Amino acid sequence: MKVTDASGAGTPLGAVAVPTTATDWTLISLRFTAPPSGLVTINIVREACGAVCPILGTIRFDDVALAR
């Protein structure tokens, strides 16, 4: 998961990797400071793994929250 400034600068604000061994509900949290605009983009991304890298599996999200 990556958080970036959404005001146009695209400045990275933080990132955290989801454990590849997670097979059950896993709490993932990331602390970041919002830019002056207050605009952020939250992206779920996948790390590069080479020329041939199939995507397999399921990912589910529950109780997503932004808090002060």
Q: Is the pLDDT of residue 62 over 90?
A: no
Q: Determine the residue type at 24.
A: D
Give, for 37, the enclosing helix (H) or strand (E): none
DSSP structural state of residue 24: S
What is d(CA 49, CA 3) in angstroms, rounded to the nearest whole number?
21
Kindly list the domain boundaries of the chain, sorted by start residue: 1-68
Q: Which residues of 32-56 are buried (b: 16+ CB within 10 A; e: fewer)?
A: beeeeeeebeeeeeeeeeeeeeeee
Q: What is the mean pLDDT of the chain?
A: 86
pLDDT bin (cut points 50, 70, 90) of residue 53 is confident
Dihedral of alpha carbons 34, 3, 24, 61, sign: positive
Confidence (pLDDT) at 6: 95
What pLDDT, in 10s, does the model give residues 6-34? 998 789 999 998 777 877 888 889 999 99
